[in-house]
Amino acid sequence: MFRWRHRLNGQAYSLLRAVYDPNTGHAVAVVSELADSPAHGITYDFADVADAALPLLRANLSPHLASLLWIAHFGDFSSHDPGGPETFTAIALKVEGDGYRDDDQGDRRLTADEVTRLFHGRPLAPVPDVLAGLEPLT
């Protein structure tokens, strides 16, 4: 879990899961929108999501990440489509001087199988199961 500030809606938090390949320096980060976050709409402000998550990824995976694939994740645990199908969207961010920029160009849907392959064949655990094992944010 990590906190970030939504440009339009204020304080928010999301679930962040990532995998890193030290041989290539490549990482994949899945950010799940959570229904009980005080602000919603991660795809409307994904650049700020990535700016907040990047230091955590560098601290916990590697300070020398060569590249990152960012994925927005929604499902019955989020506000985007409560009760709807689980969806994954690869977000094409551009790096600018002091952070990321998202112009919504190049975003594309991924299947759960594609995400599993990106996570080296390990399917993502269901969000409620992951949340049940975490300490609450304070």
**The model's pTM:** 0.91
**Per residue in 21-59, pLDDT tens?**
999 999 999 999 998 888 888 888 899 999 999 999 999
Domain-embedded: residue 130: no
Number of structural domains (the chain) is 1
Does residue 72 lie within any of the structural domains? Answer: yes
Which amino acid is residue 107, in one-letter code? D
For residue 8, being part of any structural domain is answered with yes
Domain that holds residue 12: 2-125
Is residue 77 one of the residues assigned to a domain? Answer: yes
Outline where DSSP puts E strands in the chain.
Answer: 2-6, 10-21, 26-33, 67-74, 87-91, 94-96, 99-101, 108-110
Q: Report yes or no on 136 lying in a domain.
A: no
Q: Is residue 135 part of a domain?
A: no
Confidence category of residue 84, pLDDT binned at 50, 70, 90? low
